């Protein structure tokens, strides 16, 4: 990231200080060795939300006062790197014994969290004195526009620190930068940091259907996401191999290993406290083998009677009934704005001639949409109907790019967000086609961002270095960016995706270790889409210090 650093004219306080203004462009970042395992004995209190502090929080041993050990001038080192910083002369700020984190009212939880992490005291009210950190929510303090609530201003001046933002998420992100600055450099250099994300959607997509992950493991990933200023966790909880969330409306479909609703509420509550949105994905009309196992009459069959793996018969009214039951049941469990509807890899549309292979679907399409309608129109109508239904539940729909088809009599609604993952499906469409249609895209490019257990179908585990050096939000398919503008208003962000095709190929601990650096690199490129200038090795070593 480009980082502007200006040093103001300084007056003589101790000795002689050179006058002038220095303009330097820098970039910061960090991560451990690619493929490294989890560090033995790592202190979970280094993760956001893992500890809290009382007004009598213990002091950290071996502290020095700011006067004895000034923080070196420069830019605080953090992941993702701060986008701009203005340096000023002065000793900077270090955590010292007796210092407080002052956070009033709505910011109290953020204040207690930071106080615990830095071994400071917590106070609900000021005024701030030397050594203190003050958190403040102030309109206009982090710019304007849709991302202002996530932007922040971090100021070290007169022995104090002020973290200010228009929104609570921005204040939280400012505290993450402050915490990482202490871990990487001992404190915060004198001056002002102004920082905000480039993309609104930044996160991890996790397949919990093919492989069961415990609530505790998922909560650890939430803390990891929040430390990197990532703000989404998508949970793909239904597939052919399993259905992993407790259901009251259809308990017969739920796998033996699953998350209870109480556990989901606990996950969602932690996510909200860390400013992460949890997005449920109930994939249909494909990837429903676990549902079909309990309801075999929903199984899609071709003209010869052969079952289409994982696919339900969308000409059967009972198929819509059971899917809508589940959408209705789960919508209140996930209070965020999105519901992912899947829509990918429907077996009927993977046939060379869907109309010949699935005449029942072809007949239903003509009956419902007219003589020119095809099977793809019936599938598009299915997607539109589910999107309309979740809209009544207060949700915005997402769907995979291979659920959107050109040239039909039915067109997918424009307000359904396209999650672009592949260009390898039958009739593949370039990302540019979706952009030309005026659609909003989210980037899950399977060339860079797919961590598929067992590496089937020519997938290889992604590396942080490759993401860091080669990928950007505009690289939606393959390795080249799209030719048309792909700014934040068109490509809203991206997610690293973990898919558990061969569930036994890695343990949960190995998955956590394997995605550590790819997640850090993804966070960097989504926070600032410009090519990083800090060498990968330096970025990697920084991660080991700040997280």
Q: What length is written for the chain? A: 547
Q: Dig out the tokens for 295 from the structure.
A: 């309801």
Which of 73, 76, 78 lies closest to 92, judged by CA?
73
Q: Cα dist. 263→63, 218, 225, 233, 246 in Å?
A: 40, 10, 19, 15, 10
Asked whether 440 and 404 are in contact (CB, 8 A), the reply is: no
Q: Dig out the tokens for 530 from the structure.
A: 């410009």
Q: Dig out the tokens for 52 from the structure.
A: 């809290």
Measured between its terminal Cα atoms, the distance across the chain in Å is 20
Asked whether 173 and 195 are in contact (CB, 8 A), the reply is: yes
DSSP 524: H
DSSP 41: T
Active-site hit among 150, 281, 345, 447: 345
Q: Dig out the tokens for 334 from the structure.
A: 């996930």
Q: Dig out the tokens for 66 from the structure.
A: 């700011």
> Exposed/middle/buried for 4, CB within 10 Å: 0-12, 13-18, 19+?
middle
Checking DSSP bridges between strand 191-195 and strand 84-87, what pairing results, if any? antiparallel
Which of 150, 133, 132 lies closest to 141, judged by CA?
150
Asked whether 292 and 310 are in contact (CB, 8 A), the reply is: yes
Asked whether 207 and 500 are in contact (CB, 8 A), the reply is: yes
Active site residue 367: no
| Full DSSP string of 406-459 | SS-SS---TTSEEEE--S-STT---HHHHHHTT--EEE--TTTSEEETT--TT-
Annotated active-site positions, please?
345
């Amino acid at each position: 990231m480009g980082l502007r650093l200006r040093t103001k004219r300084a007056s003589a306080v101790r000795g002689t200080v050179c006058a002038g203004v220095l303009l330097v462009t820098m970039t910061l970042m960090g991560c451990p060795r690619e493929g490294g395992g989890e560090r033995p004995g790592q202190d979970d209190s280094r993760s956001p939300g893992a500890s809290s502090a009382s007004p009598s929080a213990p002091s950290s041993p071996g502290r020095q006062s700011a006067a004895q050990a000034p923080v070196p001038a420069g830019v605080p080192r953090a992941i993702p790197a701060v986008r701009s910083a203005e340096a000023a002369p002065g000793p900077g700020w270090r955590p010292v014994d007796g210092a407080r984190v002052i956070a009033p009212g709505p910011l109290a939880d953020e204040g207690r969290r930071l106080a615990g992490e830095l071994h400071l005291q917590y106070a609900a009210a000021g005024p701030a004195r030397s050594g203190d950190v003050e958190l403040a929510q102030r309109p206009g303090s982090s710019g304007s526009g849709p991302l202002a609530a996530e932007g922040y201003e971090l100021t070290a001046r007169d022995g104090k620190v002020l973290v200010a933002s228009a929104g609570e998420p921005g204040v939280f992100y400012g505290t993450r930068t402050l915490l990482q600055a202490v871990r990487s450099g001992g404190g915060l250099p004198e001056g002002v940091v102004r920082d905000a994300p480039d993309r609104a959607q930044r996160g991890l997509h996790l397949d919990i259907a093919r492989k069961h992950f415990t609530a505790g493991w998922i909560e650890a990933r939430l803390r990891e996401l929040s430390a990197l200023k990532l703000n989404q966790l998508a949970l793909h909880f239904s597939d052919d191999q399993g259905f992993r969330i407790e259901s009251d409306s259809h308990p017969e479909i739920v796998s033996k290993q699953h998350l209870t609703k109480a556990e989901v509420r606990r996950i969602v509550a932690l996510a909200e406290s860390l400013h992460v949105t949890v997005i449920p994905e109930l994939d249909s009309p494909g990837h429903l083998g676990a549902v079909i196992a309990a309801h075999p009459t929903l199984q899609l069959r071709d003209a010869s009677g052969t079952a289409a793996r994982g696919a339900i018969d969308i000409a059967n009214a009972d198929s819509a009934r059971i899917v809508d039951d589940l959408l209705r049941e789960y919508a209140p469990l996930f209070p965020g704005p999105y519901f992912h509807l899947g829509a990918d890899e429907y077996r009927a549309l993977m046939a060379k001639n869907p109309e010949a292979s699935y005449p029942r679907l072809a007949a239903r399409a003509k009956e419902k949409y007219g003589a020119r309608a095809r099977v793809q129109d019936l599938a598009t109508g299915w997607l539109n109907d589910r999107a309309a239904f979740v809209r009544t539940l207060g949700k915005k729909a997402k769907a995979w790019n291979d659920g959107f088809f050109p040239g039909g009599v039915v067109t997918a609604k424009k307000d359904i967000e396209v999650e672009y993952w592949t260009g390898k499906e039958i009739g593949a469409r370039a990302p540019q086609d979706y952009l030309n249609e005026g659609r909003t895209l989210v980037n899950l490019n399977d060339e860079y961002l797919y961590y598929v257990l067992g590496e089937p179908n020519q997938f290889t585990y992604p590396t942080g270095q490759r993401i860091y050096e080669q990928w950007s939000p505009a690289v939606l398919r393959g390795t080249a960016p799209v030719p048309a503008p792909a700014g934040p208003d068109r490509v809203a962000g991206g997610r690293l995706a973990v898919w558990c095709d061969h569930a036994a190929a890695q343990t949960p601990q190995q998955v956590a270790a394997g995605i550590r650096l790819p997640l850090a690199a993804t966070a960097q490129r989504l926070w600032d889409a410009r090519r990083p200038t800090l060498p990968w090795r330096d970025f990697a070593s920084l991660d080991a210090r700040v997280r």
